[in-house]
């Protein structure tokens, strides 16, 4: 079971231990958020199906290099057997300095086998931001079979909470969705977001489901979505798993939270 989380407004009187821990995690994330690099979905170290489709995300200065991989690159998956060539397919661009592409192996992977992605060959000296082992390598182990079952929402996405975090560099805005998803592996949301009223451009980007959280928003450097305080938004949410299987979509309307005076007050040095 995977679960997701999205919000409406954080008040100081509601700060409890759970929220304090969550805000601390967001602050740690924000402190490291201005790094150039890439992230991979599923995260390195995960067990993946033999028909896995990865997502590679370029952050800040790495957007351009990741975007140029589409249509051909030096990416391959290495194991003790023959290398498996990886096709780079067009993905999505955020309005907040991120780009994501899909990495599709040309053939099914062998079961119960460890594979390493030739990340450094395609993107020399790149930094892996969700590095699991601290050696800047991306590797996974396959499970026993492929995955052909579409993921399902067992609890549809619903509004939960919204967080503001003041850092030395500026204000981090984060919305969250809460729901439950039934799937045997990792899953992500493809979210299309636009203003509920008035004219505004549509934003579309992928949002990984990480444990019980799916974060929408941005820090002072980059993010998946940009939103204006207190505005109403319409979301079209599509569900995908790490094999590329698509679940049934869902529509949601929500209002972005408004920060309190304490939220927007500059951090004291």
Residue 58 resides in a domain: yes
**What's the pTM value of the predicted model, to 2 decimals?**
0.83
Residues 107 and 185 in one domain: no
Please indicate, yes or no, if residue 223 is contained in any of the structural domains: yes
185 domain residue, yes or no: yes
Q: Is residue 54 part of a domain?
A: yes
Q: Are residues 88 and 121 in the same domain?
A: yes
pLDDT, one tens digit for every residue, the chain (269 residues): 544 443 333 333 233 323 333 333 343 444 445 899 999 999 999 999 999 999 999 999 999 999 999 998 789 999 999 999 999 999 999 999 999 999 999 999 999 999 999 999 999 999 999 999 899 999 999 999 999 999 998 887 776 677 777 777 777 888 888 878 888 889 999 999 999 887 778 999 999 988 777 889 888 899 999 888 778 899 999 999 999 999 988 899 888 777 766 555 555 55
Say yes or no: 52 and 120 in one domain. Answer: yes
Burial profile 183-199: b = 16 or more Cβ within 10 angstroms, e = fewer:
bbbbbbbbbbbebeeee
Give the Å distances, CA to CA, from 2 to 32, 37, 113, 208: 25, 26, 24, 11
CATH number at residue 73: 2.60.40
C-alpha distances (whole Å) from 124 to each of 62, 128, 200, 237 are 11, 11, 38, 35
Distances in whole angstroms, Cα of residue 177 to Cα of each of 127, 202, 209: 29, 19, 10
Listed residues 109, 142, 175: the one ending a domain? 142
CB under 8 Å, gap of 24 or more: what pairs does 130-137 form?
A: 130/39, 130/40, 130/43, 130/44, 131/44, 132/43, 132/44, 132/45, 133/44, 133/45, 137/44
Note whether 59 and 108 are same-domain residues. yes
CA distance 80 to 134: 22
Shared domain for 135 and 182, answered yes or no, is: no
Final residue of a structural domain among 113, 142, 171: 142
Q: Which two tokens stand for residue 139?
A: 């590797």
Which of 98, 116, 142 is the last residue before a domain boundary?
142
Distance in angstroms (rounded) separating the CA atoms of residues 32 and 219: 10
> Which one, of 204, 173, 181, lies nearest residue 191 by Cα?
204
How far are the Cα atoms of 4, 90, 110 from residue 189, in angstroms, in the given order? 9, 16, 27
Task: Residue 87: give the domain boundaries.
Answer: 37-142
269 lies in a domain? no
The sheet carrying 250-255 orders its strands as 203-208, 187-195, 232-241, 250-255
Measured torsion, CA atoms of residues 30, 36, 40, 41, in degrees rounded to the nearest 10: 40
Structural domains in the chain (count): 2
- Same domain as 137, residue 66: yes
One domain for residues 154 and 258: yes
Is the same domain home to 101 and 125? Answer: yes
Task: CATH number of the domain at 185, please.
Answer: 2.60.40.10
Cβ neighbours of residue 71 closer than 8 Å, sequence gap 6 or more: 88
């Amino acid at each position: 079971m995977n679960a997701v989380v999205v919000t409406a407004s954080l008040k100081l009187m509601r700060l409890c231990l759970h929220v304090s821990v969550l805000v601390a995690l967001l602050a740690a994330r924000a402190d490291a958020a201005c790094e150039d690099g890439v992230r991979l979905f599923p995260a390195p170290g995960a067990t993946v199906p033999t028909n896995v489709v990865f997502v590679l995300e370029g952050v800040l200065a790495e957007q351009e290099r990741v975007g140029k991989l589409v249509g051909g690159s030096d990416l391959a998956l290495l194991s003790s057997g023959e290398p498996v060539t990886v096709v780079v397919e067009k993905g999505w661009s955020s309005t907040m300095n991120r780009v994501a592409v899909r990495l599709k192996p040309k053939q099914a992977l062998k079961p119960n086998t460890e594979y390493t992605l030739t990340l450094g060959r395609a993107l020399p000296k790149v930094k892996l931001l969700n590095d699991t082992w601290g050696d800047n390598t991306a590797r996974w182990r396959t499970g026993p079979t492929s995955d052909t079952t579409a993921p399902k929402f067992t609890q549809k996405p619903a509004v939960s909470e919204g967080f503001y975090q003041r850092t030395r560099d500026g204000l981090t805005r984060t919305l969250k969705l809460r729901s439950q998803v039934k799937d045997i592996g990792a899953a992500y949301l493809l979210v299309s977001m636009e203003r509920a009223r008035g004219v505004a451009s549509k934003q579309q980007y992928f949002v990984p489901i990480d444990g019980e959280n799916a974060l929408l928003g941005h820090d002072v450097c980059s993010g998946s979505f940009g939103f204006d305080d207190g505005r109403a938004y319409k979301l079209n949410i599509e569900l995908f798993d790490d094999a590329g299987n698509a679940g049934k979509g869902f529509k949601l309307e929500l209002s972005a939270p408004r920060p309190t005076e304490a939220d927007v007050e500059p951090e004291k040095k």
